[in-house]
Structure formats: C-alpha cells, structure tokens
Amino acid sequence: MAASQPLYSQLYDVLAERIRSGDWEEGKQLPSEKALVAEFGTSRGPVRQALAKLRTEGLVVGGRGAPPRVQRAVRSQSFDTFISFTEWVEELGRTPGAKVIELTQRLADERLARDLDIAVESPVVAVVRLRLVDGEPVMFERSVYVIDAGRHLLRVDLEAESIYQTLRNQGIFPTRAHNVIDAVGAGEIEARWLEVKPGSPLLRVRRTTLDQHGTVLDIADNRYLPNKANFAVDNSTLNPTPLTRIAVDDAGSGG
C-alpha cells in the first residue's frame, strides 16, 4: 500500500482490487470490521471509511445492520487520462468488442462544420457502432471524424481494430478532450441495440477530441448503460481540475 495515501484510501484500494479481480465474488459477505481491523492492524475508523467508499462506488451493498456483500462492479472510466474505449476495457482485464452499424463518408452540414471547425460541405467520416464488453452491450457510439483522420478508418475493420490506435499508427494522436455528461432516455435505435426499452435511462457523453496540434479531430455522442459503466473525475486542491456547469441543448453535438 502506498504510504502517501490516507490509510482508509489504502484499505479501499486493497479491498476494491479483491472485488474487481474476482477474488471476492459477487454476493460474497465481506469480513467483519473486527476481522479487517485485525488483518490490517488498524483501528475501526479507517476500515469504516474504506467500506463507506466501497458502498459509494457501488462495489458493496448492505450496512446499517445488514452485513456488506460484494456487488457486481460497474466498470468505471476515469477522465483524468484520456484513453479509448478499447484501452479502458483492456485495462480492466476484459474483452472489448464492436459491431459496426454505419461507416460512411458524407459532407458536413452547417452544424457538423461548426462543431468540427471545418468548412460547410467538407467531407467527413461518420461511424456508428455498438460497443461491447465480454460480449455484452455497454455503449452506443456515434462519432464523426474530419476527413484527414476518417479516411484511415475506411480502410480497417472497425469491429476488430481500435480507432484511436489506428490513428496513432498514422501519426495522429488524440491528446485532449472536452466532455459533457448528462442523462437521457434511450431512443428507438439505441434501445434496440442496447437491448433495453425505449426511454430507459442512459448516460450520455458528448465529446470533442483534439489532436496533438490542437485541431479538432472528432466529435462523438456516446450513450452508456448506466448499470454497465460510470465515470470518475478526481480533484485535488494541489492540482485542481476545473469543473464547469453548462447548459446544453437536447439535440446533441451531431454525428
């Protein structure tokens, strides 16, 4: 355990890893506070704080008289470091997958041109995919790429290849992203592919990605099943991450 972390945070990391690795299976009752105090040689305070964080993260359920039990971990993606869906899933030790629904080249209308910072009727490449984790639907992805990047995507199998790894291989490096996160109801198309009822709650992430030159690379509208994925943003007074509350229209960012 890292000595620079608060003790409860160190305990949380150890316990969370036991859950995520499968060492503690779903439904397993956690050891008692007394047993955890004895195992880690600490007091009840840090143990209780660690257990509270596990509950907050949705890794355990129970409390207030009910013994805590392992709950299936929701796959959490951090925005502290920008990575692709494929890399995120692989980091979790899971198997990423994709089903290509649409891959087309078309001309940008006024809205797409504005969002991608290109001229109206410039060529763009649109990608619509269902993203999978261990064969299960997790996210419905709509992305639109500027042609300098998108043309490379027309040449590869996007059900087998990572888009961002493909772009890196071509010397195009996604380096920064602006994300807007909100909740929406599933439309008919998302509902069918994500295997939920229309109107079911989805977690929407609208993203604008910039390359190493500060040029807009793509815009995306990604809709996640909230019970399959969530997002974490870490803040620190030593290295603060600005959070901005903004009003967004209901039409999305295009694509």
Nearest of 42, 17, 44 to residue 33 by alpha carbon: 44
For residues 221-238, average pLDDT? 76
Q: In terms of DSSP H, where are the helices of the chain?
A: 7-20, 33-40, 44-56, 85-91, 110-116, 147-153, 163-169, 188-194
The angle at the Cα of 36, spanning 33 to 39, to the nearest 5 degrees, equals 155
- pLDDT digit string (tens) for 41-86? 999 999 999 888 888 777 888 766 678 888 765 566 665 545 688 8
Read off the pLDDT band of 253 (50, 70, 90).
very low
Helix, coil or strand: residue 6: coil
CATH topology of domain 7-70: Arc Repressor Mutant, subunit A (1.10.10)
96-125 average pLDDT score:
97
pTM equals 0.68
| Every domain of the chain and the residues it spans | 7-70, 75-232
pLDDT of residue 246: 56
What confidence tens digit (pLDDT) does each residue in 74-104 have?
566 665 545 688 888 887 788 999 999 999 9
- The CATH architecture that domain 75-232 belongs to is 3-Layer(aba) Sandwich (3.40)
Q: Say which residues have a Cβ less than 8 Å from residue 110's Cβ, sequence separation at least 6.
A: 120
122-179: pLDDT as tens digits: 999 999 999 999 999 999 999 999 999 999 999 999 999 999 989 999 999 988 888 8
Torsion of CA 225, 240, 83, 108, to 10 degrees: 80
Whole-angstrom Cα distance, residue 164 to residue 170? 10
